Structure 1
Amino acid sequence: MTPAQLSSTIVGVLTALSEEGALALPDGVPTEVNVERPRQKGHGDYATNVAMQLAKKAGTNPRALAELIAERLRAADGVAAVEVAGPGFLNVSVEAGAQGRVAAEVVRAGASYGRTEVLAGQRINIEFISANPTGPLHLGHTRWAVLGDAIGRVLDAAGAEVTREFYINDRGVQMNHFADSIIASALGEPKPEDGYAGAYIDDLARQVGEAHPGIFELPADERRAAVRAAGYEVQLREQRETLDAFNTHFDVWFSELSLHESGSVPETLARLKELGHVYEEGGALWMRTTTFGDDKDRVLIKSDGELTYFASDTAYYLNKRERGFDHCIYLLGADHHGYVGRLKAMAACVGDDPAKTLDVMIGQLVKILRDGEELKLSKRAGTIVTLNELAEDIGVDALRYSLARYPADSPLVLDVAEITKASNDNPVYYVQYAHARTCRMLANAADLGMRLPDLEPGAENGFDPALLDHERDGALLRALAEYPRVVASAAELREPHRVARYLEDTASVFNKWYDTKECRMLPQGDEPVSAANEARMALVVATRTVIANGLDLLGVSAPERM
């Protein structure tokens, strides 16, 4: 019995009590009840505080309501015992057979186990990284490359229609500085003062020259435009290849320049004027964002006629909404705290409720240590630590998992030696090794001729869930049953680290089960294969499935051997 199934059973009890007049709830019976695993041993398999939540509305005291619910719940299929504790907690123990059926459900569902429909019908756009196409992706982009991708994966698993989007900042003076830096390198001249340095500029100059012979001999203005376009193409392709190799994939690569070329920005300004949220002052055009809580109004067009980034940002947000997205998620760096208020005010200015359509997440900085020294980066100084280098030195799995297991808003220091060592002290190794262990166990079972029993209910000589009756069996089954709730919570809160921490807890529960002699999956010596052995084989397959599914949500591989 999963938490969702028990929740449904309790809702059924509340509905029956309400229909019989034994329970009066002015707001009606809730559609679901929060069910959790109790922290203390001996408090049953599951616990709920539903009586404490509903007692006041029902006009009774929590303990009396808990007793009323418990009396009916004890008669429900799959429920072995119900205890009322404290001021009105319900501790529920389920029958071994009901608990054991979780293993069959997981195995039958396979890769789809854990997927829910809690966000079904929502169209969500998640934008992250959005780096300038003027250099390689580096350490500063790495955290969002992991978390943005993982958030997209858990949202998808929760039933949402998700689009992962990279906003290409390909308009602005930095693009000219970029072109001038490539030209200077090709001609053997000093880099411009505001240009870009580093070996990657020399590589770009070589690639552009090879792809476009004679490009550096063009007249100055024509040359800059041509080199800018050619260098942009090469650098953007390298960014895409880097992210694909890092297991981070985008559905849309959106050009900022296209907003201006398509007329979206002027159309946005016209709409704002119609809504009455812009004004002119000092020769500039302003958006009155203070009306909606911003600390100051924002300039859209400067007094010299130049459009600001905020004008592009507003047009881009409206473009997303016009493409049919119900909710837009922005993942921004630690130096973008000031954007939260202005983006929300901007959404309100165009007529939206930002609480419903906008979510701005700020990620804190990451420091990576090697031999006690911090890895530094500076794109302009040319001492850049690229994402490619990090992935090669640390490993994609180790780097992704280590970044995914912490909330975005927590500052993070990672030590290369710690996150790459083959030790149970290393969380990614610990979880991956648990998966590899299940694979080895199943390979050994195959060598003995063991087969997975028929998992369909009522099958003759099939899977008998009641045989998973040891305390350790129950603990592992409850952990596996918790997975869909964890995924749903990770999606709704935009916190994929919940999946990582769940995997570590579940790997620990599995290892304790593995070390329990009474829970052996393989027969000993010349013993014949028993129905209990086969039942535990199903439990091992279920464990392998859940760990693999969870790792996939983090973009991390599930190795079969280590």
Structure 2
Amino acid sequence: MGAAVAAGELPEAPTPAFKIEIPGDVRNGDFACNAAMVGARAFRLPPRRIAEILTARADCAGTPFERLEVAGPGFINFFLSHRYFEDVVLAANQQGADWGRTEFGEGKRVNVEFVSANPTGPMHLGNARGGALGDCLAAALEWAGYQVTREFYVNDAGNQIEKFGDSLSARYLQIFKGEEAVPFPENGYQGEDIRQRAREFADLHGDAFVDSPAQERKKALVDYALPLNIQAMKDAMEKYRIHYDVWFLESQLHESGAVQEVLDKLSALGATYEKDGAIWYKAGEYSLKWGANKRPKAGEGEAQDGPKDEVLVRANGIPTYFAADIAYHYNKLVTRGFDLSIDVWGADHAGHVPRMKGSMDAVGLSGSRLDVVLMQLVKLVRDGQEVRMSKRTGKAVSLVDLLDEVPIDSARFFFNQREPGAQVLFDMDLAVKQDSDNPVYYVQYAHARICSILRALAAEGVTPRPAAQADLSLLTDPAEIELVRHIGYFPEEIVTAAKNYDPARITRYVTDLATLFHKFYTACHVKGEADALQQARLALCTAAKTTIANGLAMLKITVPEKM
């Protein structure tokens, strides 16, 4: 564009933002650009004329492109050279297990916090999706060149622990006094897991705590049950192939004085005020910037100007969960020095996002350093009907119940088939099928098929030579080119998944890659061809095998060589 302006063919003007996209039909070009279309007003020329000037001035030397063409009213289509396709096959073969990795993230430190279920009961289906989503997002970020820490935030303080202790205490006393004699707390945890922990405690200690002061009994029960519940969560996550780098306890924030430190900082910065004996945070002042909706009218003609303010310290002097949450994120971004904090939350927490981002501004940071991925619900179906109860326990389906019924490969793949903001319909019948109807089996089978080809040829004394020694210019069949083109997208697909916080892109990518390989397998023979063509196709098969393996490895899905 600069050359055209210098030659007087285009007037001097700021270049408007334009897009480069992959066309739906790549026969019309490998990439399409709308620069001429959006530049018509700035350059005061018809789009097609601008496109003709730009393509005439374009020099493809030293680029992956062979030529540029003008299409329609002024689109500029770019066509890749065959050398590009050869380089893709070569790169995938030479880079092997590192194929797809980039330095896009420049080594920035990112904390990805996900699942973070309350340790007061079993993990549910939302946690199952959050686990797969968070872990695979972390993997995409790692492959895109970020330094990633996976973190689980344990809410082992506050109201939920008080309620946990009250529930355990009531169930423990009921064992010895009867359920009619000991009323259960109205807002207590009703699950069978509470009864189980109380029975275990009673088996260990008998009635030794029946006549103890209530707080002493509660503390003893919580001190017994909470570590067991946290360990159960760790075990479930490890079974799900999720390894956390950090299990961060909320109680540490209170014990270390970090919560009070942040409260003092907010006060010093003028972000709090006192009312009715409590300390309030000026949410209304900081949240609107991040998309908080205006509050509805409280009464006839009485409009509210913004989101309501939040209590940070109750009148009884006890900090709220929100205060601890601010301190926790301050700890991540300041104390531990992460460049970015990414939280994975359920969509029902959407209203809390502006408040949390605003609180980062209020405490002297920037809300832009906290991103939240909101995920929609999961619906289990079997025989076309929604499933709510576990076959094994007869209770609401938990993460552990699900992993007992369906393969872990299927669970991780299925939960990552759609972007976080879309609801997942989890077909339990499909998840256990071992045929091409099951999408994860379909992808794994493509990898196993390539391994089978390599084994069959090895049995005949044919082994792949280094790709650099193969004549890759022989890969000209449309099925070959289509497969190579898709393999070439892999590094950028990972970067896009990382930028968009959408690891489902990787799941869709490997599914499409499997389809293209099966298409290639049908159209192009490897066995029985002349040596030069056979070696070129073996290099292509190896490139496809490597790419599928790397994609599945990101998702922590097994990569079988035989099926």
TM over 0.5: yes
> What does the per-residue CA deviation read over 1:181-227, in whole Å, with 9 as the maximum and x for residues that have no partner?
44555662548334434443454346556788997579444343233
Q: What letter corresponds to residue 522 of structure 1 in structure 2?
A: K
- After TM superposition, the structure 1 = structure 2 runs for residues 410-489 of structure 1, keeping only pairs within 5 Å, are 410-456=422-468, 462-489=469-496
* 1:403 corresponds to which of 399, 406, 415: 415
Cα offset for 1:547? Answer: 1.2
CA, structure 1 residues 358+46, in 2 after alignment: closer, same or farther (shift >3 Å)? same
Q: What letter corresponds to residue 353 of structure 2 in structure 1?
A: V
* 8 A contact 2:312–2:323 mirrored in 1: yes
CA, structure 1 residues 115+167, in 2 after alignment: closer, same or farther (shift >3 Å)? same
SS at match of 2:415: helix
* 8 A contact 2:89–2:467 mirrored in 1: no
Structure-1 residue corresponding to 2:184: 192
Instruction: Work out whether 1:39 is the aligned partner of 2:39.
Output: no
Q: In 1, distance between residues paired with 2:125 and 2:374?
A: 16
Structure-1 residue corresponding to 2:52: 67
Segment drifting more, 98-107 vs 61-70 = 61-70
- After TM superposition, the structure 1 = structure 2 runs for residues 310-321 of structure 1, keeping only pairs within 5 Å, are 310-321=322-333
CA, structure 1 residues 25+145, in 2 after alignment: closer, same or farther (shift >3 Å)? farther
Instruction: Work out whether 1:335 is the aligned partner of 2:348.
Output: yes
Cα offset for 1:171? Answer: 0.5
Q: In 2, distance between residues paired with 1:53 and 1:548?
A: 41
> What does the per-residue CA deviation read over 1:453-479, in whole Å, with 9 as the maximum and x for residues that have no partner?
2233xxxxx111101111111111111
Q: In 2, distance between residues paired with 1:227 and 1:255?
A: 18
* 8 A contact 1:79–1:94 mirrored in 2: yes
Segment drifting more, 144-153 vs 36-45 = 36-45
Q: What letter corresponds to residue 453 of structure 2 in structure 1?
A: M
Q: In 2, distance between residues paired with 1:531 and 1:256?
A: 63
CA, structure 1 residues 195+29, in 2 after alignment: closer, same or farther (shift >3 Å)? closer
User: What TM-score do the two structures reach when normalised by structure 2?
Assistant: 0.86
* 8 A contact 1:278–1:286 mirrored in 2: yes
> What does the per-residue CA deviation read over 1:363-397, in whole Å, with 9 as the maximum and x for residues that have no partner?
2111112234433369xx99242211101201111
Instruction: Work out whether 1:367 is the aligned partner of 2:372.
Output: no
Structure-2 residue corresponding to 1:9: none
- After TM superposition, the structure 1 = structure 2 runs for residues 170-181 of structure 1, keeping only pairs within 5 Å, are 170-181=156-167
Structure-2 residue corresponding to 1:165: 151
Q: In 1, distance between residues paired with 2:537 and 2:193?
A: 55
* 8 A contact 2:283–2:355 mirrored in 1: yes
Q: In 1, distance between residues paired with 2:248 and 2:208?
A: 27
Cα offset for 1:41? Answer: 5.1
* 1:224 corresponds to which of 190, 205, 218: 218
Cα offset for 1:59? Answer: 6.3
User: What TM-score do the two structures reach when normalised by structure 1?
Assistant: 0.86
Structure-2 residue corresponding to 1:541: 542
Q: Percent identity?
A: 38
* 8 A contact 2:16–2:39 mirrored in 1: no
Cα offset for 1:22? Answer: 7.1
Cα offset for 1:73? Answer: 3.6
Q: In 2, distance between residues paired with 1:450 and 1:46?
A: 38
* 2:116 corresponds to which of 117, 130, 144: 130
Please report the RMSD computed on the Cα atoms of aligned residues, expressed in angstroms.
3.0
Q: What letter corresponds to residue 534 of structure 1 in structure 2?
A: Q
Cα offset for 1:441? Answer: 1.6
* 8 A contact 1:198–1:382 mirrored in 2: no
CA, structure 1 residues 369+544, in 2 after alignment: closer, same or farther (shift >3 Å)? same
Structure 1, unpaired ranges of 5+: 1-13, 457-461
Structure-1 residue corresponding to 2:562: 561
* 8 A contact 2:15–2:42 mirrored in 1: no
Q: In 1, distance between residues paired with 2:545 and 2:106?
A: 27
Matched residues, number: 533
> What does the per-residue CA deviation read over 1:512-552, in whole Å, with 9 as the maximum and x for residues that have no partner?
11110xx212116xxxx511111111111111111111122
- After TM superposition, the structure 1 = structure 2 runs for residues 4-19 of structure 1, keeping only pairs within 5 Å, are none
Cα offset for 1:49? Answer: 3.3
SS at match of 2:420: coil
Segment drifting more, 51-60 vs 248-257 = 51-60
Segment drifting more, 253-262 vs 158-167 = 158-167
* 2:268 corresponds to which of 249, 265, 274: 274
Cα offset for 1:234? Answer: 1.2
Structure-1 residue corresponding to 2:296: none
Q: In 2, distance between residues paired with 1:192 and 1:103?
A: 66
Structure-1 residue corresponding to 2:519: 512
Instruction: Work out whether 1:494 is the aligned partner of 2:505.
Output: no
Q: In 2, distance between residues paired with 1:206 and 1:78?
A: 69
Q: What letter corresponds to residue 504 of structure 1 in structure 2?
A: T
Structure-1 residue corresponding to 2:295: none
Structure-1 residue corresponding to 2:250: 256
Structure-2 residue corresponding to 1:117: 103
Structure-2 residue corresponding to 1:240: 234
